A = this chain, B = another copy of it.
Amino acid sequence: MQNTNVRTGAPDTQGQMMALTSRIRQTPFSDRVEATGAKAFTVYNHMLLPLTFRSLEEDYYHLKEHVQLWDVSAQRQVEVVGPDAARLVQLMTPRDLSKAVPGQCLYAPLVDEKGGMLNDPIVLKLDEDRFWLSIADSDVLLWAKGVAYGMGLDVAIDEPDVSPLAIQGPKAEELAARVFGDEVRAIRFFRFARLDFCGRSLVVARSGWSKQGGFEVYLDNAALGGELWDELWDAGQDLEVGPGAPNLIERIEGGLLSYGADMTREHNPLECGLDPYCHLERDIDFIGRDALLDAARSGIKRRIVGLSIDSVDLKPCTTGWPVLSDGRVVGRVSSAAQSPHFGCGVALAMLDHGHWMPGTSVTVDAGGRDYPATVTALPFSQPES
């Protein structure tokens, strides 16, 4: 057997060459992303999602200081519209949507009949009978269509030509205001407005997959991708606008979970710390209610927590790393990175009962090398000084 090791490794990350085929969809911003020097991509919802531009660390510092444009087209929209739309969307999540109003964005765990996580989209309530689910990486459209078909619901479900472009970072509001007008400043967190761009009325939400603040612009015409990118790019030159992406370090520090990595169908939302979005005590009709009530009553057996790892050059976690206590496996790390801010490794891990209290000492087996680690609450916070 040959022993050619083909891991070429982009800076700060482990990688492989990805063959491009027409099965992996390009985005309305792909040429701009390429032109600005994207170094590494992933595939998300059958679509390209750029992940790294300069390096994980440089992107991290830039995001926390300036403003970035993120091609997050891969957050596809599942549109649910019709007389039974509100009923179907409520059936899909334990979060109570009865008080939601048009213009509101709602983070919503989706679960199956056993309470297992299927996705964790932002639900955009466009109208009383029209919703977008801005999804993580699974084909929620098929679940929604299956349930609707089986129950005979009166809804239409489709994936519209809508591709979010995120504007993230402390200068995001200033940049967005220059292109969309001062109206963006009035948009509250997790609310959206419809603002004009090139004669179209675009959904612009104050949201995004970072803790640095910003907006997501839901472009509803792929042909305008270049124009939207360029206008924001040109308007942000003195703000040091740069290309960016959801950043592994920043999102772990912020406790943002990645569906498919940190949580899967094997986990329920209580184990994922999503209790605030599970309104089990209210009289709402959703799939998996009995299963989640059972889980809540009997108490969960494991839970996602943060880990501070005593490391100086921790590599990202590409397979689950065992977490040990007294030599026994008590959980698994799903995401990890070296944090320049905290000066240690930061990780998300699902730990068994008895081991998840902040301050608990454990050991992480990171691909054959053991590191001491301490359980922390999420999001990570500055150690007391």
Contacts and interface: CB of A to CB of B under 8 A. Distances in A.
Interface stretch (A143-151, A192-200, A303-311): A143-151
A142 B233 CA distance: 39
B2 A37 contact: yes
A210 interface: no
B18 A15 contact: yes
A22 B318 contact: yes
Interface of A: 1-8, 10, 13-24, 26, 32, 34-43, 46, 48, 51-52, 112-113, 118, 137-140, 142-152, 233, 248, 258-261, 287, 316-320, 334-335
Given A16-B18, A138-B142, A142-B143, A46 B148 contact: no
A169 B128 CA distance: 57
Contacts of A316: 19-21
A19 B1 contact: no
19 contacts: A2-B36, A2-B37, A15-B18, A17-B40, A18-B18, A18-B43, A19-B41, A19-B52, A21-B318, A22-B317, A42-B43, A43-B43, A112-B149, A113-B145, A139-B139, A142-B142, A142-B143, A146-B146, A147-B150
Contact of A4 (B35, B147, B287): B35
B335 A21 contact: yes
A30 to B, nearest CB: 9
A5 B20 contact: no
A10 B14 contact: no
Given A35-B3, A36-B1, A42 B14 contact: no
B150 A35 contact: no
Contact of A15 (B13, B20, B113): B20
A92 B175 CA distance: 49
A258 B22 CA distance: 10
Contact of A10 (B19, B24, B143, B287): B19
Among A21, A148, A150, A287, chain B packs the most CB atoms within 10 A around the CB of A21
A82 to B, nearest CB: 14
A244 to B, nearest CB: 14
Given A2-B36, A43-B43, A20 B14 contact: yes
Contacts of A15: 17-20
A-B CB proximity, top 6 nearest: A150-B150, A146-B146, A43-B43, A139-B139, A18-B18, A142-B143
Given A4-B37, A143-B142, A24 B43 contact: yes
A251 to B, nearest CB: 11
B1 A233 contact: yes
Nearest to A148: B150
Contact of A17 (B3, B17, B142): B17
Contact of A260 (B20, B34, B35, B46): B46
Contact of A142 (B36, B46, B139): B139
A10 B151 CA distance: 48
Given A145-B143, A145-B146, A17 B18 contact: yes
A18 B316 CA distance: 14
A19 B42 contact: yes
B112 A19 contact: no
B17 A42 contact: no
A318 B20 contact: yes
A243 to B, nearest CB: 9
A85 B100 CA distance: 38
A335 B24 CA distance: 12
